[in-house]
């Protein structure tokens, strides 16, 4: 699937290194790896602000949409409209919905329809794919 922002693996690695991204950010964002639960820096982060794609800076979530899903990853009830593309993921012997950045295709996590909020959605994101900007 083509995205507006494209780079080679070497360019993504250099960009993430320049941003002092978390270890594993390249594997998470560019190769759909998953960080271990309860290890990401934003899992228990509750400040006001917004969450952006670590690769391209696209605004993905407002902190007001974050909630504690007790799943070990930062969880949100809704994304910024148009910020995320959803892709059917049939890996690991199951069907899930993968979420990627609509601008650069960075793997963010998965969305589930079992959230406790009004939207009924639970966007479980990898901290390594996010960058936070306080308000």
pLDDT for 39-89, tens place per residue? 999 999 999 999 999 999 999 999 999 999 999 999 999 999 999 999 988
Q: Which DSSP category does 66 fall into?
A: E
Looking at the domain assignment, is residue 130 inside a domain?
yes
Average pLDDT of the chain is 94
Strand partners, 59: 52
Looking at the domain assignment, is residue 4 inside a domain?
no
The total of structural domains in the chain comes to: 1
Q: What is the rounded CA–CA span in Å between residue 123 and residue 109?
A: 7
Looking at the domain assignment, is residue 111 inside a domain?
yes
Beta strands in 1-135 (DSSP E): 49-53, 59-62, 66-67, 75-76, 84-89, 96-101, 107-112, 122-125, 130-134
Structural domain harbouring 84: 9-134
User: What is the pTM for the complete model shown?
Assistant: 0.93
Three-state secondary structure along 99-122? EEECCCCCEEEEEECCCCCCCCCE
Looking at the domain assignment, is residue 1 inside a domain?
no
State the sign of the Cα–Cα–Cα–Cα dihedral 111, 114, 115, 117.
Answer: positive
CATH code at 40? 2.170.150.20
The catalytic residues are: 124
Identify the band that residue 90 occupies on the pLDDT scale cut at 50, 70 and 90.
confident
Looking at the domain assignment, is residue 66 inside a domain?
yes
């Amino acid at each position: 699937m083509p995205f507006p922002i494209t780079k080679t693996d070497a360019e993504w690695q250099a960009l993430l290194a320049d941003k002092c991204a978390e270890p594993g950010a390249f594997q998470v964002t560019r190769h759909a790896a998953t960080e271990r639960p309860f290890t990401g820096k934003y899992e228990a982060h509750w400040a006001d602000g917004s969450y952006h794609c670590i690769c391209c800076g696209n605004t993905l979530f407002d902190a007001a949409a974050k909630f504690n899903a007790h799943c070990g990853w930062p969880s949100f009830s809704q994304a910024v409209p148009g910020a995320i593309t959803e892709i059917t993921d049939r890996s690991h012997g199951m069907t899930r919905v993968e979420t990627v950045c609509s601008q650069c295709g960075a793997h963010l996590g998965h969305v589930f329809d079992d959230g406790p909020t009004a939207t009924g959605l639970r966007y479980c994101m990898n901290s390594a794919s996010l960058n936070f900007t306080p308000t």
